[in-house]
Amino acid sequence: MTRNADLFARARHRLPGGVNSPVRAFRSVGGEPFFTARAEGPYLWDVDGQRYIDYVGSWGPMIAGHNHPAIREAVARAIGNGLSFGTPCEAEVTMAETICRLVPSVEVVRMVNSGTEATMSAIRVARGATGRSRIVKFEGCYHGHGDAFLVKAGSGALTFGLPDSPGVPKPLADLTLTLPFNDFEAATTLFERHGDEIAGLIVEPVVGNANCILPRDGYLQHLRELCTRYGTILIFDEVMTGFRVALGGAQERFGIRPDLTTFGKVIGGGMPVGAYGGRRDLMEQVAPAGPIYQAGTLSGNPVAMAAGLASLALVQEPGFHARLEAKTIALTDGLQAAADEAGLPFSTTRIGGMFGLYFNRDHVDSYAKAMASDAAMFKRFFHGMLARGVYLAPSAFEAGFMSIAHADADISATIDAARETMREIG
């Protein structure tokens, strides 16, 4: 028995499904996950000594590559002063100032410990500030596991929410309305009917949880205008896109100013960090400045802030995002060429350090098209790549992540592996 198999057998006995977060379990691609022993740059090594070129990057945080010395050293220095204080510390102030400087729509920010906490809190602010209860989210968008978000559309275009998870009370799920992403008309119609009741609209400006769907021209602007017209708080969930698709996130790239923004992943450099922030008049309603309650024992933790600040320092290096995007382009172009050679139905999407791979001949710009991709072919592709030492997200509906540590040689090796794999699965 391999050490991986032994560990997974033990894990399955004591952890639900053997994991602490579902997608890690390989359920949608089949087979068993590997257990990582060590990570460095663009690579993971499992407990059996196999090396993988990694395009998951801990699901987004490792934009500078794994175990970056600058982040590691910042953490080591912070640890020397203690692990947690429960009082304010300087790093929190520097972090808040850094976020507000890099993302100008954020005038005031609150640090939390995960993306889920950030989105749950942002929705609370939207509801508290407007006195309204309903929220809007999009099919295929993921905003963490808060009750309000585990809701997807029914078959109709403007159906009221249905619980997608047992444990979400129906009256709560009913407050979440869902829309198809990139459908201008559906959004207009929903607001015409319910605009006055909608506290907040939350959107991943690039949908990274249905693979990687880019907004159509003008779509985010359309949402901005509807929210402004109806007094709805526009929330950009930039947990994934923040500091990744551009230094100032998707809102910089698409030139939209949301009312609130949520962050996670890159902002923590690999430590559990999230944040939400935005308009001063809204954020100053958060306790103790105002009555909307939200708190956290470990929020603004000094070690986590040190990792996050080091991560944000790296992405601020001149030309970082241009270099990152060039790598993403080289990879997706190479994979497309390999698929064309093998005659497979395949398309890609990309922006900054994010990409989508679809076994679908069409350009994917909607959730419906993403769902229409060939999932069985993706499974074979995933396993073929894994066997050749390339780790892609173990699901057809997760974005891929590039890091600045992926060298040309890693990208060429990935494309070579894809050429072989695609020939095999075609």
**Applying CB under 6 A, which residues contact ligand PMP?**
59, 114-116, 119, 142-144, 204, 208-209, 237, 239-240, 264, 274
User: Would you say 105 or 119 has its CB closer to ligand PMP?
Assistant: 119
Beta carbon of residue 237, minimum distance to ligand PMP (angstroms, whole number): 5
Pairing of β 43-46 and β 354-358 = unpaired
Q: Is 379 a catalytic residue?
A: no
Residues with Cβ < 8 Å from 12, sequence gap 6 or more? 18
Coil vs helix vs strand at 42:
coil
Percent composition of the chain: helix, strand, coil (DSSP 3-state, to 5):
45, 15, 40
| Beta bridge partner(s), residue 178 | 137
Beta carbon of residue 383, minimum distance to ligand PMP (angstroms, whole number): 23
Whose CB is nearest to ligand PMP? Answer: 115
Round to whole Å and give the CA distance between 203 and 205. Answer: 6
| Beta bridge partner(s), residue 271 | 269
Round to whole Å and give the CA distance between 418 and 421. Answer: 5
Round to whole Å and give the CA distance between 285 and 155. Answer: 38
Round to whole Å and give the CA distance between 120 and 190. Answer: 22
Round to whole Å and give the CA distance between 118 and 262. Answer: 6
Distances (CA, A) of 193 to 167, 188, 190, 221, 230: 29, 9, 5, 20, 11
Beta carbon of residue 48, minimum distance to ligand PMP (angstroms, whole number): 27
Beta carbon of residue 342, minimum distance to ligand PMP (angstroms, whole number): 31
Nearest C-alpha neighbor of 311 from the set 124, 105, 72: 72
Pick the catalytic residue from 46, 54, 183, 237.
237
What string of DSSP letters covers 163-198?
Answer: ESSTTS-HHHHTTEEEE-TT-HHHHHHHHHHHGGGE
User: Would you say 56 or 227 has its CB closer to ligand PMP?
Assistant: 56
Beta carbon of residue 242, minimum distance to ligand PMP (angstroms, whole number): 9
Beta carbon of residue 114, minimum distance to ligand PMP (angstroms, whole number): 4
Round to whole Å and give the CA distance between 103 and 121. Answer: 19
Beta carbon of residue 354, minimum distance to ligand PMP (angstroms, whole number): 11
Alpha carbons within 13 angstroms on the beta-carbon side of residue 43 total 14
Following CA atoms 21, 122, 101, 295 in sequence, which dihedral angle do they give, to the nearest 10 degrees?
-80
Tokens 């995002």, residue located: 321
Beta carbon of residue 421, minimum distance to ligand PMP (angstroms, whole number): 26
- Cβ atoms within 10 Å, residue 241: 31
User: Would you say 74 or 266 has its CB closer to ligand PMP?
Assistant: 266
Q: Do residues 268 and 311 lie in contact, with contact meaning Cβ atoms separated by under 8 Å?
A: yes
- Find the largest Cα–Cα distance for the chain: 62
Q: Is 358 a catalytic residue?
A: no
Pick the catalytic residue from 43, 52, 142, 276.
142
Pick the catalytic residue from 265, 327, 369, 379.
265
User: Would you say 116 or 232 has its CB closer to ligand PMP?
Assistant: 116
Beta carbon of residue 423, minimum distance to ligand PMP (angstroms, whole number): 33
Round to whole Å and give the CA distance between 91 and 398. Answer: 32
Q: Is 265 a catalytic residue?
A: yes
Q: Do residues 223 and 259 lie in contact, with contact meaning Cβ atoms separated by under 8 Å?
A: no
- Reported in sequence order, the residue ranges of 29-85 that DSSP labels E, i.e. its strands, are 36-40, 43-46, 51-54
Residues catalogued as catalytic = 142, 237, 265
